[in-house]
Amino acid sequence: MAFVTTIAVSAENPFFKPYTTPHQTIPFNEIKLEHFMPAFEEGMKQQNDEIKDIINNKKPPTFENTIVALEKSGSLLDKVTGVFYNLLSAETNDDLQKLAREVSPLTTEHSNGISLNEQLFERIKTVYGQHDKLNLDTEQQMLLKKTYDRFVNSGAGLSAKDKEKYRELSKELSQSTLMFGQNTLNETNKYSLLITDKNLLSGLPEDVLSVLASNAEKAGKKGWMLDLKATTYIPVMKFADNRDLRRELYIANATKAMNGGEFDNRENIRKIVNTRLEIAKLLGYTNYADYVLINRMAENKENVYKLLDDLLEAYRSSAENEVKEIQAFADKNGAYFKIQPWDWSYYSEKYKAERFAFDDEALKPYLELENVKKGVFGLATKLYGITFKKNPNIPVYHPEVDAYEVLDKNGRFLAVLYTDFHPRDGKSSGAWMSSFKDQWMDGKKDSRPHTTIVMNFTRATADKPALLTYSEFETFLHEFGHALHGMLTKCTYASLSGTSVYRDFVELPSQIMENWGPEKQFLDGFAVHYETGEKIPAELVRKIKDAENFNTGYLCLRQLSFGFLDMAWHTLTKSFDGDVISFEHQAMDKTQVLPVIHEVAMSPTFGHIFSGGYAAGYYGYKWAEVLDADAFSVFQQNGIFDKKTADSFRKNILEKGGTEHPMVLYKRFRGQEPAIDALLIRNGVKK
């Protein structure tokens, strides 16, 4: 999306008028950079006027005139915010990043102005004090509770002096987290390595070499241009025979944003954790984790550490044995060294190919992106009866993006789904689901959501279509699961709809989808060879299943290391001014089964906790694995396409959003609380 860079107030600002596009989708083709700031300013002004109307209402505070009125305020601001921050992640540029640095303190101050408004909070508190007498339904009770809790946790109950302190701290935090993400993207884009001797790239698949040659050509060079995007980095780690090359790329990736340059994130980390700690203490908590976890399924840090420690105990011996196996294999194949982190993927991949006769490259021809899309969309059709129809009349923010109308089994319009699959310089790394517009209801009017899934999959080459690795296929299923949560939601209030649930529950709808990946019944429906049309061989599917638990122990400990690191940063009780790298290594020490490389660290690019929403919440991925294994066991018992089970999951989980406590929803689907056993059995740790 090309933005006009001149800042000026446009007479035809598309944010200021109703969209005339299909389903009132965003007219990306009309939006220019110059439109954002006036829309932000007007959106904040309108919401402030709406807040004044609430607090100046002469009638006694009620659920409708206070809680619902607040919920419905800020529609223009929501409109522009939904566009701006999604583009900032998926299609950014220098001008948009500069504008983000200007907008961030303004919107933070605006948000603080609402949450710290004493008159508004008095009305909310009055309604909340009557909650047991108001005859509210379940969703209304949850909206009231979340509204009250949000204000309390945002400093509404503080003294005037402490409120000012909270304002300062929250603005500082907003700026620091924004800069953290921008630095990570800029550091990733800054790196390139030109290889002119093809022999140095021995082992890399031809389609990867084609991408690298294309990179070089775009840069006006001859040869093969390597970068740190996942579509380059992962294949090099897995397949490059040149150990020095693997080490060079590993070190470059693992020292991003910590090299002392303009994009160094270490000081941002100190600012972020110290500011979070100050906010937590200001609100009466010992540390930031205590502040966050009161609104999580885990409830407190003791429960988080119990989960992490229990999993560490269950999986550690498996991980240690896996390392011994890979080392023995490497020794047998001429390695004269102890396996290092840059060797792990390379020898693991070769060992997997030998032990299971499983080769990811042999699988890729059966995972052509267009076919995978049909398969993943078709899975939703089988489970929930929904269908997807591409609509070229819906504007998109980049030519590579597709927009789909999503229809229920009765033909009723459910949602718009945008898909964005390939890496670009303007796109952050990784994969995510988000929304341009949330779902809500007003009387009988059901305003449906506009959802987006964004990934960084391998591109097509001159002679091959986009062929996915199995990991990319799983990522698609994962993000699509989030999208289903967003699209199937059926709630009254936007702030409770879709994925607006506890952070340690939000990964259940995404991770459960990955369970269908290795199922033959599913793969048979779409996985055909892109050249011959041959259905994926049963033998290859069997190999996928056989290799399913390969290195499960190692991978579990890797995830646990991230969880322990997150908790270490957010259980600090004193201001941190130490060395980021040393702190990280100490936090992750008990999970390490490979040699520790002392000059590297992941904290400076750990966007989930420093620029995303997972601070004191990364453990949620492992908790969600417990949930998804337990939940999928019901499908396994009843049939993986069983309509009754799918209907129950849709009705009790996907449609409900955050309208009830997640444990209540889960037990309604499952009939009992989740147990760790299903995960241990699935991973082969327990019989």
Residues 438 and 466 in one domain: yes
Residues 628 and 610 in one domain: no
Q: What digits encode the pLDDT tens for the residues 39-72? A: 999 999 999 999 999 999 999 999 999 999 999 9
What pLDDT is attached to residue 375? 98
What is the rounded CA–CA span in Å between residue 610 and residue 633? 34
What does the pLDDT average to over 185-193? 94
Q: Give how many domains the chain has, as a whole number.
A: 4
CATH at residue 459:
1.10.1370.40
What pLDDT is attached to residue 545? 86
Q: What digits encode the pLDDT tens for the residues 462-485? A: 889 999 999 999 999 999 999 999
Q: How long a stretch of residues is the chain?
A: 687
Q: What digits encode the pLDDT tens for the residues 141-160? A: 999 999 999 999 999 999 99
Q: What are phi and psi of 670, to 5 degrees?
A: -90, -25
Give yes or no for residue 119 having a pLDDT over 60: yes
CATH at residue 594:
1.10.1370.10
Task: Establish if 651 belongs to a structural domain.
Answer: yes
Joined tokens for residue 274: 């110290």
What does the pLDDT average to over 672-681? 88
- List Cβ neighbours of 229 (8 Å cut-off, separation of 6 or more): 188, 423, 429, 456
What proportion of the chain, given as a percentage, has pLDDT over 70? 98
Given 133, 157, 181, the domain boundary residue is 157
Q: What digits encode the pLDDT tens for the residues 519-553? A: 999 999 999 999 999 999 999 999 888 888 899 99
Residues 630 and 518 in one domain: yes
Residues 370 and 332 in one domain: no
What does the pLDDT average to over 295-324? 95
Residues 203 and 338 in one domain: no
Residues 437 and 490 in one domain: yes
Joined tokens for residue 225: 């241009």
Would you place residue 676 in the very low, low, confident or very high pLDDT band (cuts 50, 70, 90)? confident
What pLDDT is attached to residue 687? 65
Annotate 614-648 with DSSP letters as a single string: -TTTTTHHHHHHHHHHHHHHHHHHH-TT-HHHHHH
Task: Establish if 163 belongs to a structural domain.
Answer: no
Task: Establish if 250 belongs to a structural domain.
Answer: yes
Task: Establish if 406 belongs to a structural domain.
Answer: yes
* Among 187, 322, 479, 507, the one annotated catalytic: 479
Would you place residue 229 in the very low, low, confident or very high pLDDT band (cuts 50, 70, 90)? very high
Average pLDDT for the chain: 95
What pLDDT is attached to residue 11? 54
Q: Which of 400, 179, 412 is nearest to 275 (CA)?
A: 179
The CB-based long-range contact list for 547-552 (8 Å cut-off, 24+ gap) reads 547/352, 547/356, 547/358, 548/518, 549/682, 549/683, 549/684, 550/348, 550/352, 550/355, 550/356, 551/322, 551/348, 552/315, 552/318, 552/683, 552/684, 552/685
Q: What digits encode the pLDDT tens for the residues 393-424? A: 999 999 999 999 999 999 999 999 999 999 99
Would you place residue 359 in the very low, low, confident or very high pLDDT band (cuts 50, 70, 90)? confident
What pLDDT is attached to residue 539? 92
Joined tokens for residue 492: 């009254």
Residues 378 and 512 in one domain: yes
What is the rounded CA–CA span in Å between residue 55 and residue 166? 22
Given 254, 285, 305, the domain boundary residue is 254
Cβ atoms within 10 A of the Cβ of 113, count?
A: 15
Task: Establish if 172 belongs to a structural domain.
Answer: no
Q: Is 616 left (phi over 0), alpha (psi -120 to 50) or beta?
A: left
Residues 100 and 132 in one domain: yes
Given 618, 642, 670, the domain boundary residue is 618
Question: What is the radius of gyration, based on Cα positions, of the chain?
Answer: 25
Q: Which of 427, 480, 465, 1 is nearest to 230 (CA)?
A: 427
479 catalytic? Reply is yes
Q: What digits encode the pLDDT tens for the residues 574-622? A: 999 999 999 999 999 999 999 999 999 999 999 999 998 899 999 999 9
Give yes or no for residue 8 having a pLDDT over 80: no
Distances (CA, A) of 49 to 43, 115, 494, 680: 10, 15, 20, 55
Q: What digits encode the pLDDT tens for the residues 245-277? A: 999 999 999 999 999 999 999 999 999 999 999
Q: Which of 369, 368, 374 is nearest to 530 (CA)?
A: 368
Would you place residue 2 in the very low, low, confident or very high pLDDT band (cuts 50, 70, 90)? very low
Residues 452 and 509 in one domain: yes
Sort strands 413-420 and 450-454 into parallel, antiparallel or unpaired: parallel
| Boundaries of domain holding 418 | 364-546+621-682
Task: Establish if 173 belongs to a structural domain.
Answer: no
What is the rounded CA–CA span in Å between residue 331 and residue 336? 7
Task: Establish if 276 belongs to a structural domain.
Answer: yes
Task: Establish if 602 belongs to a structural domain.
Answer: yes
Which segments of 149-257 are extended strands (E)? 193-195, 224-226
CATH at residue 25:
1.20.1050.40
Joined tokens for residue 518: 């290795």
Residues 239 and 347 in one domain: no
Would you place residue 10 in the very low, low, confident or very high pLDDT band (cuts 50, 70, 90)? very low
CB 371 within 8 A of CB 530: yes
Q: What digits encode the pLDDT tens for the residues 486-509? A: 999 999 999 999 999 998 999 999
Residues 599 and 636 in one domain: no
Residues 22 and 72 in one domain: yes
Cβ atoms within 10 A of the Cβ of 445, count?
A: 7
Collapse the DSSP code of 205 into the 3-class scheme (helix H, G, I; strand E, B; otherwise coil) and give the result.
coil
